[in-house]
């Protein structure tokens, strides 16, 4: 079975770039320096690593049958709102992951993959926004 574009892009990224953690947070903090302060206690990077791992888990599921991925994003949005991370910050993170994948894939980041990522960033944003009272 052909994998969907999100799964395919992450498989290629894993083969080519290995661990994407440095690239993702590099993009996120370069584009939104104020977000760095949220991680002042994450001295060993374990929170950032776990966040990215759960993000991948959620979107890989959402790109397939969506058995629990959307629910995971919704519950994390509620939990993060309590930490002071507003739902509007979720698409910034998703977008930074997209940018890191795009960089690793280069010309293999074809329009079909780009469309799937843009759709996924939108879904993550909509789920987060719908989970938290304005």
Q: Which of 95, 97, 91 is nearest to 126 (CA)?
A: 91
**Chosen residue from 24, 25, 27, 55 binding ligand HEM by CB under 6 A:** 55
User: What's the rounded Cα separation, in Å, for the pair 77 and 71?
Assistant: 10
Does 47 bind ligand HEM (CB under 6 A)? Our answer is yes
Does 117 bind ligand HEM (CB under 6 A)? Our answer is no
DSSP E strand stretches across 39-125: none
What three-state secondary structure class fits 18? coil
Cβ of residue 2: shortest distance to ligand HEM, in angstroms? 26
Nearer CB in complex with ligand HEM: 59/113: 59
Nearer CB in complex with ligand HEM: 55/109: 55
Binding to ligand HEM in span 6-25, by CB under 6 A: none
The site map against ligand HEM for 69-108 (x = CB under 6 A) is ----x--x---x--x-x---xx--x---------------
Could you tell me what percentage of the chain is helix, strand and coil, using 3-state DSSP and rounding each to the nearest 5?
80, 0, 20
Helix (H) / strand (E) containing 71: helix 69-81
């Amino acid at each position: 079975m052909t994998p969907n574009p999100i799964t395919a892009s992450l498989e290629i990224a894993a083969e080519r770039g290995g661990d994407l953690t440095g690239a993702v947070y590099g993009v996120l903090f370069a584009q939104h320096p104020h977000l760095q302060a949220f991680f002042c206690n994450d001295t060993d990077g374990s929170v950032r690593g776990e966040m990215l791992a759960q993000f991948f888990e959620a979107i890989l599921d959402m790109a397939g049958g969506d058995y629990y991925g959307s629910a995971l994003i919704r519950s994390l949005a509620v939990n993060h709102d309590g930490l002071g991370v507003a739902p509007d910050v979720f698409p910034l993170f998703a977008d930074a992951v997209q940018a890191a994948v795009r960089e690793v894939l280069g010309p293999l980041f074809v329009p079909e993959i780009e469309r799937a990522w843009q759709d996924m960033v939108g879904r993550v944003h909509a789920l987060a926004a719908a989970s938290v009272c304005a």
